[in-house]
């Protein structure tokens, strides 16, 4: 079956701009989580959606937001980009919150 | 609060053994292990549950000490394919909090 698909894979933005990243989970998976990965910091949890509802949120500023659609596809948005937002953003889907996570290959964001 | 992983990095020769650890300051219900190869997505290795249940796809063994709030992953007779960064995740308020990872390099 098809895996988790994230688009775009790479993007470059400048400070102050905003960006929207997309994630299509594995068919049948209703939970979608987002993580920020930067060198030396591991995977930092951003938020998790289940059946269009945000069930959990990490310690990120309000500039980071997300949503989930009825088909379980999810988007995350970062507004007023800062240099420190440069990172690999990973999306993971799962059947439930604490089960096996299936990660996409990520969207690599560079902020100049 | 994210779990603490140690050692930060380990280099070993093919066929050697290594142990990598994951510790938490909070009581654990489960520990998840993932491996990420360079330039690739993290891939699930196993889940260890309180009570001893273990679910995994690979022949990599691990332990879960509930009292010590830690888990260890045993890389036995390491293969070149074991190279990568290993992340442990612990359940925290119904979400997974990952550590910073253990970088493992297996050389011929």
Q: CA angle, B44 as apex, B41 and B45 as ends, to 5°?
A: 130
pLDDT at A53: 94
pLDDT at B91: 83
Q: Which of B103, B58, B61 is nearest to B84 (CA)?
A: B103
**Contacts by A65-73, CB closer than 8 A, 24 or more apart:** A66/A34, A68/A32, A72/A25, A72/A29, A72/A30, A72/A32, A73/A22, A73/A23, A73/A24, A73/A25
Tell me the per-residue pLDDT of A49-93, one tens digit each, with 9 for 90 and over.
Answer: 999 999 999 999 999 999 999 999 999 999 999 999 999 999 999
pLDDT at A2: 79
Q: What CA dihedral angle connects A93, B98, B26 and A29, to 10 degrees?
A: 0
Interface of A with B in 19-78 (CB under 8 A): 33, 35, 40-45, 48, 55-56, 58
Q: Which helix (H) or strand (E) holds B29?
A: none
3-state secondary structure chain A: CCCCEEECCEEEECCCCCEEEEEECCCCCCEEEEEEEECCCEEEEEEEEECCEEEEECCCCCCEEEEECCCCCEEEEECCCCHHHCEEEEEEEECCCCCCCEECCCEEEEEC
Nearest residue in chain A measured CA to CA from B57: A100
A15 touches chain B (CB under 8 A): no
**Each residue's pLDDT expressed in tens, for chain B with a length of 108 residues:** 789 999 999 999 999 999 999 999 888 888 999 999 998 999 999 998 887 777 775 668 898 888 888 999 999 999 999 999 999 999 877 788 899 999 999 999
Tell me the per-residue pLDDT of A88-112, one tens digit each, with 9 for 90 and over.
Answer: 999 999 987 667 899 999 999 999 9
* Partner-chain residue, chosen from B41, B93, B101, that has the shortest CB–CB distance to A105: B41
Write out the DSSP string of B39-70.
TS--EEEEEEETTS-EEESSS-EEEEETTTTE
Give me the sign of the Cα torsion angle A90, B89, A39, B16: negative
Q: For residue B14, give the DSSP letter.
A: T
User: Does pLDDT of A20 surpass 70?
Assistant: yes
Contact A98 B30 (CB under 8 A): yes
Question: Chain B interface, mutation test: which of A38, A92, A101, most B Cβ atoms within 10 Å?
Answer: A101
């Amino acid at each position: 079956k098809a895996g988790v698909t994230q688009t775009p894979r790479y993007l470059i933005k400048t400070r102050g701009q905003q960006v929207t990243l997309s994630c299509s989970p594995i068919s049948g998976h209703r939970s979608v989580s987002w993580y920020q990965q930067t060198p030396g910091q591991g995977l930092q949890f951003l938020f998790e959606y289940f059946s269009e509802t945000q069930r959990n949120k990490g310690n990120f500023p309000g500039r980071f937001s997300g949503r989930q659609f009825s088909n379980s596809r999810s988007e995350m948005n970062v507004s007023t980009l800062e240099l420190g937002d440069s990172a690999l953003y990973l999306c993971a889907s799962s059947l439930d919150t604490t089960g096996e996570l299936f990660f996409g290959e990520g969207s690599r964001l560079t902020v100049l | 609060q994210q779990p603490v992983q140690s050692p930060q990095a380990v280099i070993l020769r093919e066929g050697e053994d290594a142990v990598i650890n994951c510790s938490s300051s909070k009581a654990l219900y489960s520990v998840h292990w993932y491996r990420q190869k360079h330039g690739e997505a993290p891939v699930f290795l196993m889940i260890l549950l309180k009570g001893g249940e273990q679910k995994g796809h690979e022949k990599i063994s691990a332990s879960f000490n509930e009292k010590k709030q830690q888990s260890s992953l045993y890389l036995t007779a390491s293969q070149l394919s074991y190279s990568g960064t290993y992340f442990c995740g612990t359940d925290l308020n119904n979400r997974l909090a990952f550590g910073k990872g253990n970088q493992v390099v297996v050389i011929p």
